[in-house]
């Protein structure tokens, strides 16, 4: 049984209320931080813990905090990014629904560390129930004296606000989030300046994912060194993985980073294998933006060593044979799923969600979607596959924000690893409308019987 830090008390009845949360040792981190530690100590602990941003990019949180500019007389802000809209990722929603106080406790400690007196939780606009849960929890915390003026008599003031999001995927990009929070159209800003220098209302700002902020609580409780012992290499601590797709037990799992992918998919502790006795065809390991991998490369590196659930291990082999941990949205596809259809679906999402500010993304995502629609519905040609490859290459890296890359990577990886399936859609247009391509060369190496080896 792996160690649980965030979801340790998730099954305690009434954990969403302050009283029960407190009984289970809640708000200890606030007491410890505010009474015994200086803000710099807290930053130091987080640095020691090696915590990496849980929102997707995996940038070390402590480092991000230490970059924050601290000019005199200018307020600093902490903004929590709860605009979780990535297809396949639903861990933050789970956390906010069931233990809202974990997030609030993390917000208090983090705001204290950064010297912020006003902090915002920007929650995706569609998650209205979660917004109400958080607001109720903030009310409770405020009534109990954990928020407001002079917290615990230490002289530290903090106001916490929940802001419903603008209803766009792009508002999850940190600078677009800040624009949206300021009440403007959610267009990403051109960096530099980075938010650490000029963020919300032009003041130094840190934007962190919900899970990163919640993870600060166990770090302060147990100490950064203790936290760093969990996990593997530079991927320390635990990570929430939202598993979905054709799994026996989809759901949110807290794993210690470094669990083998094979164990994660097949062990009963986690996903319990592929549903309906089918075989694994492909996985998307970190939410829809990361490259899709065929089953054999998901479970093992190109050289045959087992792949682990960690930042480094999943990206082993670069984009040729690897992927990314991303935000931890693990999607499994069984042998009956069509990769072309899935790629089209992802592309449709990015086309719909492009903000329209810079040209490669605005026009290119729509173009990719149209080509994929054509291929999926049996009207494609071989040239279309090459054209698609060319279009994605022209988007990747040429845009203001990472949405362009996120739109290009799934398409690139699908063509890279599943080109034969795309070609099958071109060669057998009628058949591709009624049957599936199946496993092809990407059979699950574990379940593959010798006679099936091609």
Partner 1 sequence: MSDLVKVTIDGITVEVEPGTTILNAARQIGGEIVPPAMCYYSKLKGSGGKCRTCIVKVSKGSEKDPRPMPKLVASCRTTVMDGMEVLNITSPEVLEARAGVVEILLINHPLDCPVCDQAGECDLQNLGYEHGLQKTRYEFERRTFDRIDIGDKIQLHMNRCILCYRCVFTADQITDKRVHGILNRGDHSEISTYIQNAVDNDFSGNVIDVCPVGALTDKTFRFKNRVWFTKPVDAHRNCSHEKCNGKVTLWYKGDDVLRVTARKDQFGEVEEFICNECRFDKKKTSDWTLEHPTHIPDTSVIASNHYETFKPLPVIKENLALQEANKRELEKTTKI
Question: Which candidate, 77, 98, 85, 57, places its Cα nearest to that of 212?
Answer: 57
CB of 421 to partner 1, least distance (A): 22
Question: Near partner 1 by CB under 8 A, which window of 61-69, 229-237, 390-398, 440-448?
Answer: 390-398
Task: Report yes or no: 39 and 112 within 8 Å, Cβ to Cβ.
Answer: yes
Which residue from 89, 208, 399, 432 is in contact with partner 1, where contact means CB under 8 A?
A: 399
Sheet holding 205-209, edge to edge: 148-151, 156-164, 118-123, 77-82, 205-209
- 81 contacts partner 1 (rule: CB under 8 A): no
Task: Report yes or no: 218 and 227 within 8 Å, Cβ to Cβ.
Answer: yes
Which two three-digit tokens encode residue 199? 């963020």
Please identify, using beta-carbon distances, which residue of 149 and 379 lies nearer to partner 1: 379
Task: Report d(CA 296, CA 283) in Å as an integer.
Answer: 10
Question: Near partner 1 by CB under 8 A, which window of 85-93, 287-295, 392-400, 426-434?
Answer: 392-400
- 74 contacts partner 1 (rule: CB under 8 A): no
Give me the residues paired with residue 334 across strands.
280
- 136 contacts partner 1 (rule: CB under 8 A): no
Task: Report yes or no: 182 and 174 within 8 Å, Cβ to Cβ.
Answer: no
Give the contact letters, 189-228, x = binds to partner 1 (CB under 8 A), - = no.
-x--------------------------------------
Q: Are strands 238-245 and 251-256 parallel, antiparallel or unpaired?
A: antiparallel
Please identify, using beta-carbon distances, which residue of 304 and 318 lies nearer to partner 1: 318
Question: Near partner 1 by CB under 8 A, which window of 139-147, 150-158, 203-211, 385-393?
Answer: 385-393
Which residue from 346, 367, 437, 442 is in contact with partner 1, where contact means CB under 8 A?
A: 367
Please identify, using beta-carbon distances, which residue of 402 and 445 lies nearer to partner 1: 402
Which residue from 25, 129, 145, 356 is in contact with partner 1, where contact means CB under 8 A?
A: 356
Q: Are strands 77-82 and 118-123 parallel, antiparallel or unpaired?
A: parallel
Which two three-digit tokens encode residue 348? 């449709």
Q: H/E element holding 210?
A: helix 210-222
Question: Near partner 1 by CB under 8 A, which window of 89-97, 297-305, 311-319, 364-372?
Answer: 364-372
- 397 contacts partner 1 (rule: CB under 8 A): yes
- 35 contacts partner 1 (rule: CB under 8 A): no
C-alpha pair distances (Å), 426 with each of 159, 339, 342, 375 = 58, 14, 16, 7
Which residues lie near partner 1 (CB under 8 A)? 168, 170, 185, 190, 351-360, 362-367, 370, 387, 391, 393-395, 397-400
């Amino acid at each position: 049984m792996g160690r649980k830090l965030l979801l340790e008390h998730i099954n305690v009845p009434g954990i969403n209320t302050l009283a029960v949360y407190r009984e289970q040792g809640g708000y200890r981190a606030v007491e410890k931080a505010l009474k015994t530690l200086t803000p710099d100590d807290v930053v130091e602990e987080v640095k020691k813990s090696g915590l990496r941003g849980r929102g997707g990019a995996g940038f070390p949180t402590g480092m991000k905090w230490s970059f924050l500019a601290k000019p005199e007389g200018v307020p600093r802000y902490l903004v929590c990014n709860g605009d979780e809209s990535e297809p396949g990722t639903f861990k933050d929603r789970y956390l906010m629904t069931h233990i809202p106080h974990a997030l609030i406790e993390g917000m208090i400690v983090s705001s204290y560390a950064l010297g912020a007196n006003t902090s915002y939780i920007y929650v995706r606009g569609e998650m209205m129930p979660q917004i109400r849960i958080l607001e109720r929890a903030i009310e409770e915390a405020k009534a109990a004296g954990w928020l407001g003026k002079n917290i615990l008599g230490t002289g530290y003031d903090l106001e916490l606000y929940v802001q419903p999001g603008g209803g766009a995927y792009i508002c999850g990009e940190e600078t677009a989030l800040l624009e949206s929070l300021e009440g403007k159209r959610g267009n990403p800003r051109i960096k530099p300046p980075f938010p650490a220098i000029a963020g919300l209302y032009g003041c130094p700002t840190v934007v962190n994912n919900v899970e990163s902020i919640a993870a600060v609580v166990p770090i302060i409780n147990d100490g950064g060194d203790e936290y760093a012992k969990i996990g593997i290499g530079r991927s320390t601590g635990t990570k929430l993985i939202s598993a979905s797709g054709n799994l026996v037990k989809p759901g949110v799992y807290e794993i210690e980073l470094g669990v083998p992918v094979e164990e994660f998919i097949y062990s009963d502790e986690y996903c319990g294998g592929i549903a309906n006795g089918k075989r694994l065809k492909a996985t998307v390991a970190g939410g829809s933006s990361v490259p899709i991998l065929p089953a054999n490369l998901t479970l093992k590196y190109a050289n045959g060593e087992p792949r682990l659930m960690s930042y480094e291990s999943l990206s082993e082999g670069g984009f040729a044979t690897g992927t990314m941990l991303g935000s931890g949205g693990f999607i499994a596809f069984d042998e009956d799923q069509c990769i072309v259809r899935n790629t089209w679906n992802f592309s449709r999402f990015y086309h719909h969600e492009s903000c329209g500010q810079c040209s490669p993304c605005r026009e290119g995502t729509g173009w990719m979607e149209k080509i994929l629609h054509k291929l999926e519905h049996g009207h494609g040609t071989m040239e279309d596959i090459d054209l698609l490859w060319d279009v994605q290459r022209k988007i990747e890296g040429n845009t203001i924000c990472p949405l362009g890359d996120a739109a290009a990577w799934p398409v690139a990886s699908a063509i890279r690893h599943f080109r034969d399936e795309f070609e099958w859609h071109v060669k057998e247009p009628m058949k591709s409308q009624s049957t599936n391509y199946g496993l092809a060369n990407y059979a699950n190496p574990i379940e593959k019987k010798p006679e099936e080896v091609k």
